[in-house]
Amino acid sequence: MDVAKSLATQLANIEKRTGKSLAELGAIVKSSGLETHGGIVALLKTDLGMGHGDANTLVHHLKSAAAPAASPEAALDAIYAGSKATLRPIHDALMKEIRTFGDFEVAPKKAYVSLCRKKQFATLGPATKTEVEIAG
């Protein structure tokens, strides 16, 4: 199952059912002034007669489209902020050594970095304020 293709199909169906483009739906949501997920879902269900699944999917889509894409460096800065800032040089040194094993993708998450080839093979991030953890 291709998740991206399924999402594209559902969004196209939402446009057909409502008779509005995604941009028009986004404008309706923005002009409502609502910010909470639940509030926007309720608005779409009541005002546009959308089903819960379509409304929920649309809100997720609109919020992800509006969110600025954080750079990997900015994500690392957020992970190693505040009391964990002293761990960043350790992270950088570990990544330098891990890169000697070959090519892989680095996907920063909220609290750690995911290391993937075809599948995730390890995570790297602060375990505590004084320890960096590599899990695999």
User: In the chain, what are the domain boundaries?
Assistant: 3-66, 72-135
State whether residue 128 is helix, strand or coil: coil
* Residue 25 CA: distances (Å) to CA of 39, 65, 69, 96, 115: 15, 13, 22, 46, 37
**125 pairs with which residues across the strands?**
133
- Each residue's pLDDT tens digit, 86-125: 999 999 999 999 999 999 988 888 899 999 998 899 999 9
φ, ψ of residue 47 to 5 degrees: the values are: -80, -35
What is the H or E stretch that residue 112 is in? none
- Each residue's pLDDT tens digit, 18-66: 999 999 999 999 999 999 999 999 999 999 999 999 999 999 999 887 7
Report how far residue 108's alpha carbon sits from residue 15's, in angstroms, rounded to the nearest whole number. 33
Confidence of residue 3 (pLDDT cuts 50, 70, 90): confident
Report how far residue 78's alpha carbon sits from residue 75's, in angstroms, rounded to the nearest whole number. 5
